[in-house]
Structure formats: C-alpha cells, structure tokens
Amino acid sequence: MERLAEAGYWFLYISVELTLLFLAVTFVVGIIRTFLTPERARHALERYGRGPAGNMLGAAVGGLLPFCSCSTIPMLVGLLGAGVPFGIAMSFLIASPLGVLSLVVITLFATLFGPWVAVAYVAATFVSAVVAGIVLDRLGLAAHVRELASSSGACCCGVEATTAGRWDRMRPVLLESWRFAWDLYRSMLPFLLAGVAVGAFIHGFVPTDFFARYAGADNPFAVPVAAAVGVPMYVRTSTMIPIASALVAKGVSLGTVMALIIGGAGASIPELTLLSRLFRKRLFIAYVVTIFVVACVVGFLFNALAPLL
C-alpha cells in the first residue's frame, strides 16, 4: 500500500504539472504558429536555403514545427518540389519529430531533468540534424527520392491572421491559439497519461537495482540496444519524457533514455510508412540508419556529460 500510495502521488503530481505546462506553452506555440506557418517556412527555405547555413535553417524550421504531423511529410514534398536542396530538406525532416526547438519539449526536459539537460538536448539534436542532412546529401542520395506531386505544406491546423485593427487582429489569434492548445492537449492527453502512468509504476514498484544493473552507464550495450528498440516503436517525445524521468530515477543512464526517445520519435511507424512512398529503398534504409546513429551518438554523449549535467 505504501508503494501504491507513492506511485499514485507521483502520478497525480506529474499529471497536474505537465498539464499546466503543456497548456501554457502550447498556447504560446499557437500564437507563434500564426506568424510562422509552414507556407512561410517553405518560402524562407526556398530563399535562404543554401550551404551549411541552409541546413541550420532547415533544422531550425523543422524544430519549430514539430506538432502537426499532417504537415511534416507534405511539407517535405513541397520543399523538394520547390527546389530546396535535398540535404536541407533532410535536416528539416530529422529535426521535426525530435522537437529540437519545441517549447513544449524543452519545457518538459527542463522541468523534469533540469535546464542544462534541456540545453544539451537542443544542442545535440540540432547539430545532429544539420550534420545528418549534409552527410546524406554528400552520399548522393538525392537521386533516390521518388517523383511525387509537390505540396504547399499547408497545415490542417494552421491559424491565419487578419488584417483588421490590433485588437481585432489579436483577439481571433488568441482564441485560435487557445483552441489549438486545448485541442492538442485533448488529443495528446491519452499519451501523456499513459507515459505518466508507466513512469508512476516504475517509480513505485520497480526495484532501483533492476534497471541500474542492466541499463546503467556501466553497460556499453545499453545505448545501442535502447536506440534499436526505440526505432520501431511509435512513441511521442512528450509521452516518453515522463517515463524517462522515472527510468533515470531508478538508475537508467541518461544517455540510454535519450537514445530511446530519439529512436522512437525520429522513426515512428506512421512516419516511416509515409516515407516509404517518397523514398526509394536505399534512401529509406539510410534514413532509418541515420536515426539509429544519431540516437547512439547523442546517447553516448549524454552518458559522458552526465556528471556535468
């Protein structure tokens, strides 16, 4: 009963905390989306997307637009169809599901792990997306993209600003931003609660030495195994973060849970299904391997930096 009470308290506390954070930060994201629409992002990449700086811009745009999955793949098609260089489009694609610059993801990391872990996650995943896009381009994989009709990248949940007075312009933006935050929260609630419930069970019932023995920093195979397990999983970053918090508290190395998060978020089954229609076999395999390598590199990096974080 004591363990059950501890798990229940952890579940309620984290659920309320994440709910308040999610609604507040997503409301701000909704306002940002009013001005940074996928269409505007595509035009920016068309205009400025050249060289390594273009890869950085692609990763930044992808990291800022991680929520609307209905727009990620169509926008990728639109970018390639508009003539945006292949490597820059790939940096966008890799950064987007990882929430590289997502306010929600950053806030969750900072709340549950501390601000330096959030900063390290942003830096590591951003650099990985930039470098991966450059490498995939240098390997000549652009020729393995199938010919598909381009898309404008319009998002099914976009918000448009009006041209009326300041208050008349901001009032519908604020209402739509709140609607966006609430609708997204309702759609994400089962996943958030599932993640918190799993974390609560781990926190209350799983012995500390169980995970420390098999997935601690001393096990050199923990990171690649976690990355390999994560790749075929369908896990949302915001769902996995509460689970990761409980795992770390039980002795799992920080790098291992990072590898699991990146592997699961970067190569989810729905995304891979869509990409299989856009990418030929060699490029498709290269993308999956890239996510696995990124997950391993970031995982080992976090294990090395853990004493400093």
Q: Could you state, in chain order, the average pLDDT of each consecutive group of 10 residues for the chain (309 residues)?
A: 70 74 70 65 66 85 62 70 83 83 76 87 93 93 75 44 59 79 74 66 57 63 81 62 75 84 74 79 92 91 84
Q: Contact at 8 Å (CB) between 99 and 237?
A: yes
pLDDT at res. 167: 66
pLDDT at res. 199: 57
Give the pair of three-digit tokens for residue 309.
């974080």
Please state whether the predicted TM-score (pTM) of the whole model is above 0.85: no
pLDDT at res. 36: 60
pLDDT at res. 77: 75
pLDDT at res. 150: 44
pLDDT at res. 214: 57
